[in-house]
């Protein structure tokens, strides 16, 4: 049975008349009867019973907040200054069945049978010129007056979002001719009804009138966890119906991969391609479940997909920064650097945007460390708040200058290594000893290098054993890449230093000296589209331990690999003469 035919049968099943168990007083855009029928037909119901339960009885804020008297927090200035826009949004919510009201405050207490909480609402401008309602469920920020969000528990929930690494996996494992599409759920959180016994937690008000909000809110921390149940169930149904496709999601944004259905037995099939399903088939599957994917928020299958703020190129195995992201981040950096002072909110915003860019510009990670240091200093200062002004330091200005130079270049991105798992061609081990030097093992050969007497003094910062361990990684990467002229290879290096492994995972170190080494390693890997993984090995099991102490390891042959990194010529040298 083809995927479109299977999808049509599921639609007919979902549209068939069946009892609707949803209580009439509970709002639910997603019909539990439809979801139950489709999950049952796909033999997936047992795995997603919690979703059906919540669709029938309502989702929870999962907050332990309580109150003995109604708490009506004042709205934000943006709402106070434009009450007509707020009222217009409230009226539309009433028309959609998501709000009940308006009522007086006394009527709300009578209807709910208890005191209630009304959090501040405000307005923000959308890119299309319209106003969006925002609600601050983290207010007030006081220890003795906790908010709904501050008392929300996530302990019983999990998030399985498909982030950057998952998208990389999807792209690099895609056969030749694969394409991607993206869809976005319409008002995802607002499709979920809240349990009626928790309506009192989410009242909204304008002047002396109040409305009951029966839906999940964008300002609630629990909303993403609640929607995870929906997103995971839809992904499971998708994979059942479109067995050759793959779908990952980041909250309500889905990235879908399809592969050619006419792939020949040969490694490199040739076009023209044909595919077993289309974007319309996916949308129709959503329709069977009352899930809406607006046309303006979905993008058809192509060889380039925009997902989580990046451009993914399926044919060339590349990921790039969209031009609008590059320009907006560059302009923000220019604006902030043009003034002598910086606010904490601006530092946070800048770090967030530059961190996003650093995912496709890995060298940028080491140029974020000074900004993180500044943020920490501002947050720990007893005199600091979000609007406190701090003076730029020379380290921050230096790093931002690097960022500005990098962001001035269009088409920022990187070629992806096409291998998810490390190559088994190489067996690589490194170690360092402060009393002697560095040892490396490449398959059955070893080499070693003695540290100079003043290796710990760099002239600006002090080097330590962590730096030497990082240099060992640099040396083995340098020799493996140059000796074997490698491209598009995933290397696995074993080390007994957990600090190095942690810094490499973050692509950043607290030590400026280690950061320099880390940057040089990336500069070796990126032009060759190679990837490096580090794995811990106990010192007792590390064959590179002996050469790092000036001794020959048992079972390995001495080899002087040709070449040497120029940055290390004044720090390391090969020993002359026989070894122990």
Over residues 491-522, the pLDDT tens digits come to 999 999 999 999 999 888 888 889 999 999 99
* pLDDT tens digit sequence for 247-280: 999 999 999 999 998 765 554 566 788 999 999 9
CATH number at residue 236: 3.30.70.2630
Q: Yes or no: say if 196 and 162 are a contact pair by the CB < 8 Å rule.
A: no
Q: Do 529 and 404 fall into the same domain? A: no
Task: Say if 474 falls within a structural domain.
Answer: yes
Tally of CA atoms within 13 A in the half-sphere of 8 that contains its CB: 6
| Alpha-carbon separation of residue 392 from 59, 115, 343, 378, 511 (angstroms) | 46, 48, 10, 12, 20
Strand order in the sheet with 299-302: 246-250, 253-258, 179-184, 299-302
Task: Say if 45 falls within a structural domain.
Answer: yes
Of the candidates 362, 391, 414, which is a domain's last residue? 414
Q: Yes or no: say if 75 and 205 are a contact pair by the CB < 8 Å rule.
A: yes
Q: Do 471 and 558 fall into the same domain? A: yes
CATH number at residue 546: 3.30.420
How many structural domains are present in the chain? 3
Q: Do 384 and 485 fall into the same domain? A: no
Q: Yes or no: say if 144 and 395 are a contact pair by the CB < 8 Å rule.
A: no
Q: Yes or no: say if 153 and 108 are a contact pair by the CB < 8 Å rule.
A: no
411: left (phi over 0), alpha (psi -120 to 50) or beta: left
Q: Yes or no: say if 430 and 550 are a contact pair by the CB < 8 Å rule.
A: no
Task: Say if 139 falls within a structural domain.
Answer: no
Q: Yes or no: say if 133 and 89 are a contact pair by the CB < 8 Å rule.
A: yes
pLDDT of residue 577: 66
For 108-222, list the strands marked E by DSSP: 117-118, 121-125, 131-135, 179-184, 204-206, 209-213
H or E stretch including 111? helix 105-112
3-state secondary structure 394-405: HHHHHHHHHHHH
Measured between alpha carbons, how far is 351 from 187 in angstroms, rounded to an integer?
Answer: 28
Q: Do 440 and 561 fall into the same domain? A: yes
Task: Say if 152 falls within a structural domain.
Answer: no
Alpha helices in 194-313 (DSSP H): 223-241, 279-288
pLDDT of residue 21: 43
Q: Which of 297, 294, 289 is nearest to 51 (CA)?
A: 289
Measured between alpha carbons, how far is 133 from 234 in angstroms, rounded to an integer?
Answer: 28
Q: Do 449 and 560 fall into the same domain? A: yes
Q: Do 295 and 378 fall into the same domain? A: no
Q: Do 479 and 559 fall into the same domain? A: yes
In this prediction, the residues of the chain whose per-residue pLDDT falls under 70 are 1-26, 263-270, 384-387, 459-461, 577-578, 580
Q: Do 185 and 266 fall into the same domain? A: yes
Q: Do 568 and 459 fall into the same domain? A: yes
For 130-177, list the strands marked E by DSSP: 131-135
Task: Say if 496 falls within a structural domain.
Answer: yes
Q: Yes or no: say if 87 and 121 are a contact pair by the CB < 8 Å rule.
A: no
Q: Do 410 and 476 fall into the same domain? A: no
Joined tokens for residue 491: 């290397």
Q: Do 546 and 475 fall into the same domain? A: yes
Of the candidates 364, 391, 414, which is a domain's last residue? 414
Task: Say if 367 falls within a structural domain.
Answer: yes
Measured between alpha carbons, how far is 448 from 430 in angstroms, rounded to an integer?
Answer: 10
Measured between alpha carbons, how far is 279 from 27 in angstroms, rounded to an integer?
Answer: 29
Range of the domain at 379: 336-414
Joined tokens for residue 4: 């479109």
Residue 46, number of CB atoms within 10 A of its CB: 8
Q: Yes or no: say if 36 and 45 are a contact pair by the CB < 8 Å rule.
A: yes
């Amino acid at each position: 049975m083809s995927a479109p035919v299977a999808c049509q049968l599921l639609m007919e099943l979902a549209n068939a008349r069946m009892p609707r168990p949803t209580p009439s007083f509970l709002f639910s855009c997603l019909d539990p009867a439809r979801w139950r029928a489709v999950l049952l037909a796909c033999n997936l119901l047992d795995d997603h019973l919690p979703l059906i339960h919540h669709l029938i009885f309502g989702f929870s804020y999962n907050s332990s907040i309580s109150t003995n008297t109604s708490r009506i927090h004042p709205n934000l200035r943006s709402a106070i200054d434009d009450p007509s826009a707020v009222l217009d949004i409230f009226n539309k919510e009433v028309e959609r069945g998501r709000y009940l009201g308006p009522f007086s405050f006394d009527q709300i207490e009578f209807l709910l049978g208890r005191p209630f909480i009304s959090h501040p609402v405000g307005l923000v401008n959308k890119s299309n010129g319209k106003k969006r309602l925002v609600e601050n469920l983290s207010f007030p920020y006081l220890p003795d007056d906790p908010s709904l969000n501050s008392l929300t528990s996530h302990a019983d929930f999990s998030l399985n979002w498909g982030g950057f690494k998952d998208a990389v996996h999807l792209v690099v494992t895609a056969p030749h001719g694969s394409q991607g599409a993206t869809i976005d759920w319409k008002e995802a959180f607002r499709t979920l009804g809240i349990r009626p016994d928790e309506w009192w937690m989410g009242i909204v008000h304008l002047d002396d009138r109040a409305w009951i909000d029966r839906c999940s809110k964008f300002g609630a921390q629990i909303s993403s966890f609640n929607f995870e149940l929906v997103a995971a169930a839809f992904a499971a149904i998708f994979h059942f119906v479109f067995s050759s496709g793959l779908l990952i999601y980041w909250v309500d944004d889905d990235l879908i991969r399809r592969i050619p259905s006419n792939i020949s037995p040969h490694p490199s099939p040739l076009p023209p391609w044909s595919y077993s399903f289309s974007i319309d088939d996916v949308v129709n599957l959503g329709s069977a479940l009352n899930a809406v994917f607006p046309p303006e928020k979905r993008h058809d299958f192509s060889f380039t997909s925009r997902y989580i703020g990046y451009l993914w190129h399926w044919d060339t195995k590349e990921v790039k920064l969209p031009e609008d992201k590059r320009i907006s981040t560059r302009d923000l950096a220019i604006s902030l650097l043009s003034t002598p002072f910086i606010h904490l909110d601006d530092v946070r915003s800048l770090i967030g945007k530059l961190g996003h860019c650093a995912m496709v510009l890995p060298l940028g990670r080491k140029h974020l460390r000074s900004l993180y240091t500044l943020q920490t200093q501002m947050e720990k200062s007893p005199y600091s708040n979000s609007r406190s002004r701090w003076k730029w330091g020379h380290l921050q200005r230096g790093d931002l200058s690097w960022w500005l130079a990098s962001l001035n270049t269009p088409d920022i991105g990187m070629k992806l290594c096409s291998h998810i798992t490390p190559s088994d061609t190489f067996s690589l081990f490194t170690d360092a000893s402060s009393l002697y030097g560095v040892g490396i093992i490449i398959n059955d050969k070893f080499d070693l290098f003695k540290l100079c007497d003043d290796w710990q003094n760099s002239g600006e910062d002090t080097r330590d054993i962590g730096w030497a361990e990082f240099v060992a990684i640099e040396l083995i990467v340098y020799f493996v890449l140059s000796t074997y002229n490698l491209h598009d290879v995933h290397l696995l290096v074993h080390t007994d230093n957990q600090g190095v492994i942690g810094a490499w995972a973050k692509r950043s170190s607290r030590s400026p000296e280690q950061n320099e080494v880390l940057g040089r390693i990336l500069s070796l890997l990126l032009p060759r589209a190679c990837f490096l993984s580090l794995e811990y090995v106990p010192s007792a099991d590390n064959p590179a331990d002996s050469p790092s102490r000036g001794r020959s390891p048992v079972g390995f042959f001495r080899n002087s690999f040709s070449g040497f990194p120029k940055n290390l010529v004044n720090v390391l040298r090969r020993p002359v003469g026989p070894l122990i």
